[in-house]
Amino acid sequence: MRRDGGSAEQRHAALEFLSPIREQILDRAEIRPGEVLLDVGCGDGLIGLGALDRGAEVVFSDISEACLADCRSVAGDAAMYRVASATDLGDLVVDVVTTRSVLIYVADKRRAFSEFFRVLQPEGRISIFEPINRFGLQERRGTYGFRDVAGVEELLARVGAEFVRVQEQTGGLDPMIDFDERDLMTLAEEAGFEDIRLDLVAEVKNVPMWQTRDWDVFLNSSPNPLAPTFREAMNTALTPGETNRVTAVLRPQVERGEGITRLAKAFLTARKPAGTHADDGHSL
Protein backbone atom coordinates (compact mmCIF):
# COMPACT_ATOMS: atom_id res chain seq x y z
CA MET A 1 0.00 0.00 0.00
CA ARG A 2 2.82 2.44 0.83
CA ARG A 3 4.54 1.84 -2.49
CA ASP A 4 1.44 2.77 -4.49
CA GLY A 5 -0.33 5.12 -2.07
CA GLY A 6 -3.36 2.80 -2.05
CA SER A 7 -4.04 3.53 -5.72
CA ALA A 8 -5.20 0.79 -8.08
CA GLU A 9 -3.99 2.98 -10.94
CA GLN A 10 -0.51 3.04 -9.41
CA ARG A 11 -0.51 -0.73 -8.97
CA HIS A 12 -1.51 -1.17 -12.61
CA ALA A 13 1.26 1.20 -13.72
CA ALA A 14 3.76 -0.73 -11.61
CA LEU A 15 2.68 -4.01 -13.18
CA GLU A 16 3.04 -2.54 -16.66
CA PHE A 17 6.57 -1.47 -15.74
CA LEU A 18 7.51 -4.79 -14.12
CA SER A 19 6.00 -7.24 -16.61
CA PRO A 20 8.70 -6.73 -19.28
CA ILE A 21 11.35 -7.07 -16.55
CA ARG A 22 9.81 -10.38 -15.49
CA GLU A 23 9.86 -11.66 -19.03
CA GLN A 24 13.50 -10.67 -19.47
CA ILE A 25 14.50 -12.38 -16.22
CA LEU A 26 12.76 -15.59 -17.26
CA ASP A 27 14.00 -15.46 -20.86
CA ARG A 28 17.57 -15.01 -19.66
CA ALA A 29 17.17 -17.89 -17.21
CA GLU A 30 16.55 -20.23 -20.18
CA ILE A 31 14.04 -22.23 -18.17
CA ARG A 32 13.12 -25.67 -19.40
CA PRO A 33 9.85 -27.41 -18.40
CA GLY A 34 10.30 -29.50 -15.27
CA GLU A 35 13.28 -27.56 -13.94
CA VAL A 36 13.16 -26.26 -10.38
CA LEU A 37 13.33 -22.48 -10.04
CA LEU A 38 13.96 -20.72 -6.74
CA ASP A 39 12.40 -17.25 -6.62
CA VAL A 40 14.51 -15.56 -3.92
CA GLY A 41 12.80 -12.66 -2.18
CA CYS A 42 9.68 -13.51 -4.13
CA GLY A 43 7.56 -10.67 -2.75
CA ASP A 44 4.27 -10.73 -4.64
CA GLY A 45 5.46 -13.72 -6.69
CA LEU A 46 5.76 -11.97 -10.03
CA ILE A 47 8.75 -14.02 -11.21
CA GLY A 48 7.72 -17.37 -9.74
CA LEU A 49 4.20 -17.17 -11.10
CA GLY A 50 5.60 -16.42 -14.54
CA ALA A 51 7.90 -19.42 -14.22
CA LEU A 52 4.96 -21.67 -13.36
CA ASP A 53 3.31 -20.56 -16.59
CA ARG A 54 6.46 -21.72 -18.41
CA GLY A 55 6.30 -25.21 -16.93
CA ALA A 56 8.89 -24.86 -14.17
CA GLU A 57 8.56 -26.23 -10.66
CA VAL A 58 8.79 -23.20 -8.39
CA VAL A 59 9.97 -22.59 -4.84
CA PHE A 60 8.81 -19.23 -3.51
CA SER A 61 11.26 -17.95 -0.90
CA ASP A 62 10.96 -14.82 1.22
CA ILE A 63 11.62 -13.59 4.75
CA SER A 64 7.99 -12.46 4.91
CA GLU A 65 5.37 -15.07 5.72
CA ALA A 66 2.72 -12.61 4.53
CA CYS A 67 4.32 -12.49 1.07
CA LEU A 68 4.44 -16.27 0.94
CA ALA A 69 0.78 -16.41 1.95
CA ASP A 70 -0.07 -14.09 -0.94
CA CYS A 71 1.83 -16.32 -3.36
CA ARG A 72 0.15 -19.43 -1.93
CA SER A 73 -3.27 -17.83 -2.42
CA VAL A 74 -2.53 -17.68 -6.16
CA ALA A 75 -0.34 -20.73 -6.83
CA GLY A 76 -1.71 -23.10 -4.17
CA ASP A 77 -0.26 -26.60 -4.23
CA ALA A 78 1.39 -26.00 -7.61
CA ALA A 79 4.47 -24.57 -5.84
CA MET A 80 6.60 -24.89 -2.71
CA TYR A 81 7.17 -22.19 -0.10
CA ARG A 82 10.12 -21.41 2.16
CA VAL A 83 10.68 -18.72 4.77
CA ALA A 84 14.32 -17.89 4.12
CA SER A 85 16.64 -14.97 3.55
CA ALA A 86 18.88 -14.50 0.53
CA THR A 87 21.88 -15.17 2.78
CA ASP A 88 20.56 -18.45 4.20
CA LEU A 89 18.58 -20.50 1.70
CA GLY A 90 18.59 -23.77 3.63
CA ASP A 91 18.82 -27.26 2.16
CA LEU A 92 17.40 -26.56 -1.28
CA VAL A 93 18.84 -27.92 -4.53
CA VAL A 94 17.54 -26.16 -7.66
CA ASP A 95 18.26 -25.60 -11.34
CA VAL A 96 17.66 -21.84 -11.50
CA VAL A 97 17.85 -18.96 -9.02
CA THR A 98 16.13 -15.66 -9.79
CA THR A 99 15.89 -12.33 -8.00
CA ARG A 100 14.07 -9.10 -8.74
CA SER A 101 15.19 -6.07 -6.73
CA VAL A 102 16.32 -8.21 -3.82
CA LEU A 103 20.03 -7.49 -3.36
CA ILE A 104 19.27 -3.80 -2.76
CA TYR A 105 17.94 -4.93 0.64
CA VAL A 106 20.82 -7.32 1.43
CA ALA A 107 23.81 -5.98 3.33
CA ASP A 108 25.98 -9.07 2.81
CA LYS A 109 25.73 -9.44 -0.94
CA ARG A 110 28.81 -11.65 -1.07
CA ARG A 111 27.07 -14.16 1.18
CA ALA A 112 23.96 -14.03 -0.98
CA PHE A 113 25.90 -14.88 -4.14
CA SER A 114 27.60 -17.71 -2.25
CA GLU A 115 24.17 -19.08 -1.31
CA PHE A 116 22.91 -18.79 -4.88
CA PHE A 117 25.93 -20.79 -6.01
CA ARG A 118 25.60 -23.39 -3.24
CA VAL A 119 21.98 -24.38 -3.86
CA LEU A 120 22.38 -24.72 -7.63
CA GLN A 121 22.86 -27.99 -9.41
CA PRO A 122 26.04 -28.20 -11.51
CA GLU A 123 25.40 -26.11 -14.64
CA GLY A 124 22.52 -24.37 -12.86
CA ARG A 125 21.88 -20.72 -13.70
CA ILE A 126 21.17 -17.43 -12.00
CA SER A 127 19.11 -14.67 -13.60
CA ILE A 128 19.15 -11.49 -11.55
CA PHE A 129 17.59 -8.06 -11.94
CA GLU A 130 18.72 -5.20 -9.72
CA PRO A 131 18.26 -1.43 -9.93
CA ILE A 132 21.54 0.48 -9.75
CA ASN A 133 20.53 3.21 -7.35
CA ARG A 134 23.86 5.03 -7.45
CA PHE A 135 22.88 6.30 -10.89
CA GLY A 136 21.41 9.79 -10.56
CA LEU A 137 21.47 9.60 -6.76
CA GLN A 138 22.58 13.16 -6.11
CA GLU A 139 20.05 14.58 -8.55
CA ARG A 140 17.22 12.57 -6.98
CA ARG A 141 18.16 13.67 -3.49
CA GLY A 142 18.28 17.30 -4.57
CA THR A 143 15.09 17.57 -6.60
CA TYR A 144 13.14 14.34 -6.05
CA GLY A 145 12.68 14.21 -9.80
CA PHE A 146 10.93 17.56 -10.15
CA ARG A 147 11.89 19.88 -13.00
CA ASP A 148 11.21 23.13 -11.17
CA VAL A 149 12.15 23.55 -7.50
CA ALA A 150 12.88 27.29 -7.66
CA GLY A 151 12.38 28.91 -4.28
CA VAL A 152 12.02 25.64 -2.36
CA GLU A 153 15.42 24.07 -3.04
CA GLU A 154 16.49 24.18 0.61
CA LEU A 155 13.14 22.89 1.84
CA LEU A 156 13.14 19.99 -0.60
CA ALA A 157 16.72 19.18 0.43
CA ARG A 158 15.51 18.88 4.02
CA VAL A 159 12.75 16.51 2.90
CA GLY A 160 15.37 14.45 1.06
CA ALA A 161 17.53 14.40 4.17
CA GLU A 162 14.59 12.97 6.11
CA PHE A 163 14.36 10.06 3.67
CA VAL A 164 18.06 9.40 4.24
CA ARG A 165 17.71 9.65 8.03
CA VAL A 166 14.81 7.19 8.24
CA GLN A 167 16.46 4.66 5.96
CA GLU A 168 19.75 4.87 7.81
CA GLN A 169 17.90 4.19 11.07
CA THR A 170 16.42 0.99 9.63
CA GLY A 171 19.67 -0.04 7.99
CA GLY A 172 17.92 0.21 4.65
CA LEU A 173 19.86 2.85 2.78
CA ASP A 174 23.40 1.55 2.44
CA PRO A 175 22.49 -1.81 0.83
CA MET A 176 20.56 0.11 -1.79
CA ILE A 177 23.48 2.24 -2.91
CA ASP A 178 26.60 0.33 -1.84
CA PHE A 179 27.06 -1.40 -5.20
CA ASP A 180 26.94 -0.87 -8.93
CA GLU A 181 26.96 -3.13 -11.98
CA ARG A 182 30.72 -3.76 -11.71
CA ASP A 183 30.28 -5.02 -8.17
CA LEU A 184 27.61 -7.48 -9.32
CA MET A 185 30.02 -8.88 -11.91
CA THR A 186 32.78 -9.20 -9.32
CA LEU A 187 30.55 -10.86 -6.75
CA ALA A 188 29.33 -13.42 -9.27
CA GLU A 189 32.88 -14.25 -10.32
CA GLU A 190 34.13 -14.49 -6.74
CA ALA A 191 31.28 -16.87 -5.90
CA GLY A 192 32.51 -19.25 -8.61
CA PHE A 193 30.13 -18.58 -11.45
CA GLU A 194 31.18 -18.69 -15.08
CA ASP A 195 29.67 -17.45 -18.36
CA ILE A 196 28.80 -14.22 -16.57
CA ARG A 197 26.92 -11.62 -18.57
CA LEU A 198 25.57 -8.27 -17.42
CA ASP A 199 23.43 -5.89 -19.43
CA LEU A 200 23.01 -2.37 -18.07
CA VAL A 201 20.21 -0.05 -19.12
CA ALA A 202 20.55 3.58 -17.97
CA GLU A 203 17.93 6.17 -18.83
CA VAL A 204 16.98 9.78 -18.20
CA LYS A 205 13.34 10.31 -19.14
CA ASN A 206 11.16 13.39 -19.18
CA VAL A 207 8.44 11.56 -17.29
CA PRO A 208 7.81 11.58 -13.53
CA MET A 209 9.11 8.69 -11.48
CA TRP A 210 5.96 8.72 -9.30
CA GLN A 211 3.58 7.65 -12.12
CA THR A 212 0.49 9.46 -10.82
CA ARG A 213 -1.26 12.79 -11.28
CA ASP A 214 -3.13 12.48 -8.00
CA TRP A 215 -1.48 14.64 -5.34
CA ASP A 216 -2.81 12.58 -2.43
CA VAL A 217 -1.56 9.35 -4.00
CA PHE A 218 1.82 10.98 -4.49
CA LEU A 219 1.91 12.14 -0.86
CA ASN A 220 0.97 8.70 0.45
CA SER A 221 3.52 6.80 -1.65
CA SER A 222 7.05 5.81 -0.67
CA PRO A 223 9.97 5.00 -2.98
CA ASN A 224 10.63 1.67 -1.26
CA PRO A 225 9.27 -0.36 1.67
CA LEU A 226 11.87 1.01 4.10
CA ALA A 227 11.30 4.68 3.27
CA PRO A 228 8.74 7.13 4.61
CA THR A 229 5.99 8.45 2.41
CA PHE A 230 6.48 11.92 0.97
CA ARG A 231 3.79 13.20 3.34
CA GLU A 232 5.56 11.70 6.37
CA ALA A 233 8.92 13.13 5.31
CA MET A 234 7.45 16.60 4.76
CA ASN A 235 5.55 16.60 8.05
CA THR A 236 8.71 15.71 9.95
CA ALA A 237 11.18 17.96 8.11
CA LEU A 238 9.05 21.07 7.54
CA THR A 239 6.77 23.43 9.39
CA PRO A 240 3.15 23.73 8.18
CA GLY A 241 4.01 26.99 6.44
CA GLU A 242 6.99 25.44 4.71
CA THR A 243 4.87 22.47 3.68
CA ASN A 244 2.41 24.86 2.06
CA ARG A 245 5.25 26.51 0.13
CA VAL A 246 6.53 23.16 -1.16
CA THR A 247 3.00 22.06 -2.04
CA ALA A 248 2.39 25.21 -4.06
CA VAL A 249 5.44 24.46 -6.23
CA LEU A 250 5.21 20.68 -6.53
CA ARG A 251 1.51 19.92 -6.67
CA PRO A 252 0.88 21.55 -10.08
CA GLN A 253 3.79 19.56 -11.53
CA VAL A 254 2.39 16.27 -10.19
CA GLU A 255 -1.06 17.08 -11.54
CA ARG A 256 0.38 18.00 -14.95
CA GLY A 257 2.45 14.81 -15.03
CA GLU A 258 5.77 16.66 -15.19
CA GLY A 259 9.03 15.30 -13.87
CA ILE A 260 12.31 13.59 -14.64
CA THR A 261 13.19 9.95 -14.04
CA ARG A 262 16.81 8.86 -13.78
CA LEU A 263 17.26 5.14 -13.47
CA ALA A 264 19.66 2.34 -14.23
CA LYS A 265 18.94 -1.36 -14.10
CA ALA A 266 21.15 -4.39 -14.46
CA PHE A 267 20.33 -7.87 -15.74
CA LEU A 268 22.94 -10.45 -14.76
CA THR A 269 23.09 -14.09 -15.78
CA ALA A 270 25.71 -16.71 -14.93
CA ARG A 271 26.20 -20.45 -14.76
CA LYS A 272 27.57 -22.79 -12.13
CA PRO A 273 30.39 -24.90 -13.59
CA ALA A 274 30.01 -28.61 -14.20
CA GLY A 275 31.88 -30.77 -11.72
CA THR A 276 30.74 -28.95 -8.60
CA HIS A 277 28.60 -30.12 -5.74
CA ALA A 278 25.02 -28.92 -5.55
CA ASP A 279 25.23 -28.56 -1.80
CA ASP A 280 28.44 -26.76 -0.95
CA GLY A 281 29.69 -25.10 -4.09
CA HIS A 282 33.20 -26.54 -3.88
CA SER A 283 34.86 -28.14 -6.88
CA LEU A 284 35.13 -31.92 -6.95
| Mean pLDDT (whole number) for 24-39 | 97
Residue-wise DSSP of the chain: -TTTTT-HHHHHHHHHHHHHHHHHHHHHHT--TT-EEEEET-TTTHHHHHHHHTT-EEEEEES-HHHHHHHHHHHGGGSEEEE-BTTB-TT--EEEEEEES-GGG-S-HHHHHHHHHHHEEEEEEEEEEEE-TTTTHHHHHHHTT-S--TT-HHHHHHHHHHHHHHHHHTT-SHHHHS--HHHHHHHHHHHT-EEEEEEEEEEEESS-TT----HHHHHT--SSTTSPPHHHHHHHHS-HHHHHHHHHHHHHHHHHT---EEEEEEEEEEEPPSSB-TTT--B-
CATH topology of domain 8-271: Rossmann fold (3.40.50)
> Taking 80 as the threshold, does the pLDDT of residue 282 lie above it?
no
Percent of the chain with pLDDT over 70: 90
Residue ranges of domains in the chain = 8-271
Tell me, what's the pLDDT at 284?
A: 26
> Taking 50 as the threshold, does the pLDDT of residue 39 lie above it?
yes
